[in-house]
């Protein structure tokens, strides 16, 4: 049995995040606290992104209220799968002693986030000087001709040996995706993230056509393609593995529910995985980064170049740097983050 507690949070971002669904100004979520009978305390975070298809904060909060103040491990394990973010939080709290599993990698590189459009050109040099060697640029935001013209200006500013990731967030149709991928073929582009996407709300036919388009593009062009919006749940990851997807999986552990089985499947398939932030607090980030450090596969720059993220910096993870060290992850003080909500 455990003593169970949870606290809700509404944390304004330092800068509002522009998404395909509009402006995201404030992160909503829950922190969970479990205390076992010997007094050992552990924490987890529910950080949903409902427009990605996860539960809402209110939905997971209603489940937490029903769980009550005293719960058994069996009850916690029985939370239904559609509460993927809550299941991730509970699983990471229950397995927090697995922190000892960070042994394989001492440090992992972090990708520097570049602003969309021409503003990226002003930022790239200072990021390179700080030591970043992987850069991520949001595309599909402005006119395609203007963006393609900017691509070479951007590449010219990259330090030698640097990698560039492009993230279209599903903005392109087939013709635009083909034009971009044709251009990337001769350029140092590590991968193109989510060139096209159809959400479930567009219907099953649109989703099937979009999946086929992604598979076709992956076959026709040499630059790898990354799936992000396409792999929101553990079920999505499994489905793409079964389709033989050989591109990149951008994995936001916070959305994946109980991660053990799906991570094992990715490892077995020797999948190329980029572990990424769901813009969670340091509590969820600690659990997600533990998985990244333990992943048995080629280390790739983390999609965790997000901090400082919150107006209240007590909720941020390790500060933005070109590397995150395993010891920085272990040093995250979850209890301090929990107490900051009292």
Based on CB atoms, which residue is closest to Mg ion, 64 or 110? Answer: 110
Size of the site for Mg ion (CB under 5 A): 3
**Minimum distance from CB of 266 to Mg ion (Å)?**
17
Catalytic residue among 127, 136, 176, 252: 252
**Cβ proximity to Mg ion, 28 vs 167, nearer residue:** 167
**Which of 222, 330, 231 lies closest to 285, judged by CA?**
330
Q: What is the DSSP string of 137-176?
A: EE-SSS-HHHHHHHHHHHHHHSPTT-EEEEE-TTB--HHH
Least distance from Mg ion to the Cβ atom of residue 273, Å: 14
61 binds Mg ion (CB under 5 A): no
Q: What is the Cβ-side half-sphere exposure of residue 203, based on CA atoms within 13 angstroms?
A: 3
* CA–CA gap between residue 30 and residue 9 (Å, rounded): 6
Closer residue to Mg ion in complex, CB, 137/315:
137
- Residue 214, classed as helix, strand or coil, is helix
252 is catalytic: yes
Using CB atoms, what's the residue nearest to Mg ion?
A: 228
- Site stretch for Mg ion (CB under 5 A), options 145-153, 172-180, 186-194, 200-208: 186-194
Q: Name the one range near Mg ion by CB under 5 A: 225-233, 239-247, 284-292, 324-332.
A: 225-233
The answer for residues whose C-beta is within 8 angstroms of residue 291's C-beta and 6 or more apart is 253, 259, 263, 275
Nearer to Mg ion, 61 or 211 (CB): 211
| Per CB under 5 A, 167 contacts Mg ion | yes
Map the footprint of Mg ion across residues 305-324, applying CB under 5 A. Answer: none
Q: Is residue 228 part of the contact set for Mg ion (CB under 5 A)? A: yes
DSSP H helix total and E strand total for the chain: 12, 13
The residue with tokens 């909500």 is 341
Minimum distance between the CB of residue 71 and Mg ion, rounded to whole angstroms? 35
Cα–Cα distance between 306 and 310 in angstroms, integer? 10
Which of positions 114-143 make contact with Mg ion (CB under 5 A)? Answer: none
Query: Binding to Mg ion by residue 190, rule CB under 5 A?
Result: no
Only one of the segments 20-28, 135-143, 227-235, 288-296 lies at the binding site for Mg ion (rule: CB under 5 A); that segment is: 227-235
What's the maximum distance between 2 C-alpha atoms anywhere in the chain? 63
How far apart are alpha carbons 232 and 242 in whole angstroms?
16
Nearer of residues 33 and 136 to Mg ion, judged by Cβ: 136
Binding mask 237-256 for Mg ion (x = CB under 5 A): --------------------
Of the candidates 127, 136, 138, 286, the residue annotated as catalytic is 138
CB of 30 to Mg ion, least distance (A): 24
Q: Which of 201-216 are b and which e, b meaning 16 or more Cβ less than 10 Å from the residue's Cβ?
A: eeeeeebeebbebbbe
Handedness of CA 261, 104, 165, 111 (dihedral sign): positive
Considering the complex, state which of residue 30 and residue 113 has its C-beta at the smaller distance from Mg ion: 113
Contact window for Mg ion (CB under 5 A) among 23-31, 189-197, 292-300, 317-325: 189-197
Instruction: Work out whether 45 is an interface residue with Mg ion (CB under 5 A).
Output: no
What is the Cα–Cα distance from 99 to 60, expressed in whole angstroms?
Answer: 25
Complex with Mg ion: residue 167 or 258, whichever CB lies closer: 167
The residues pairing with 36 across neighbouring beta strands, listed in sequence order, are 2
Q: Which residues are catalytic?
A: 138, 252
Residues of the shown chain interacting with Mg ion in the complex, contacts defined by CB under 5 A = 167, 193, 228
């Amino acid at each position: 049995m455990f003593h169970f507690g949870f606290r809700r949070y509404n944390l304004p971002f330092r800068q509002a995040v522009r998404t395909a669904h509009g402006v995201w100004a404030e992160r909503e979520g829950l922190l969970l606290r479990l205390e076992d009978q010997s007094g050992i305390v552990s924490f987890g975070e529910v950080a949903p992104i409902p427009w990605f298809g996860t539960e809402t904060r209110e939905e997971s909060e209603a489940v937490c209220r029903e769980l009550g103040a005293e719960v058994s491990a069996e009850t916690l394990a029985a939370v239904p799968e559609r509460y993927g973010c809550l299941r991730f939080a509970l699983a990471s709290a229950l397995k927090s002693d697995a922190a000892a599993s960070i042994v394989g990698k001492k440090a992992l590189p972090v990708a520097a986030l570049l602003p969309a459009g021409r503003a990226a050109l002003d930022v790239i040099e200072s990021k390179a000087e700080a030591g970043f060697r992987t850069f991520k640029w949001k595309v599909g935001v402005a006119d395609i001709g203007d963006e393609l013209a900017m691509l070479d200006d951007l590449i010219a500013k990259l330090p030698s040996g640097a990698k560039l990731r492009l993230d279209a967030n599903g903005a392109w149709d087939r013709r635009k995706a083909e034009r971009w991928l044709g251009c990337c073929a001769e350029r140092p582009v590590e991968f193109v993230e989510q060139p096209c996407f159809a959400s479930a709300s567009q219907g099953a036919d649109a989703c099937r056509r979009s999946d086929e388009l992604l598979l076709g593009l992956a076959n026709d062009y040499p630059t790898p393609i990354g799936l992000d919006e396409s792999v929101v749940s553990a079920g999505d990851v499994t489905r793409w593995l079964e389709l033989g997807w050989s591109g990149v999986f951008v994995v936001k552990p916070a959305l994946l529910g109980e991660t053990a089985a799906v991570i094992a499947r990715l490892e077995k398939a020797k999948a190329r995985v980029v572990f990424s932030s769901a813009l969670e607090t340091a509590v969820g980030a600690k659990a997600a980064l533990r998985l990244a450090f333990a992943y048995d596969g080629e280390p790739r720059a983390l999609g965790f170049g997000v901090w400082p993220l919150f107006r209240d910096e007590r909720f941020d993870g390790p500060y933005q740097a070109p590397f995150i060290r395993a010891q920085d992850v272990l040093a995250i003080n979850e209890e301090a983050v929990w107490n900051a909500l009292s």
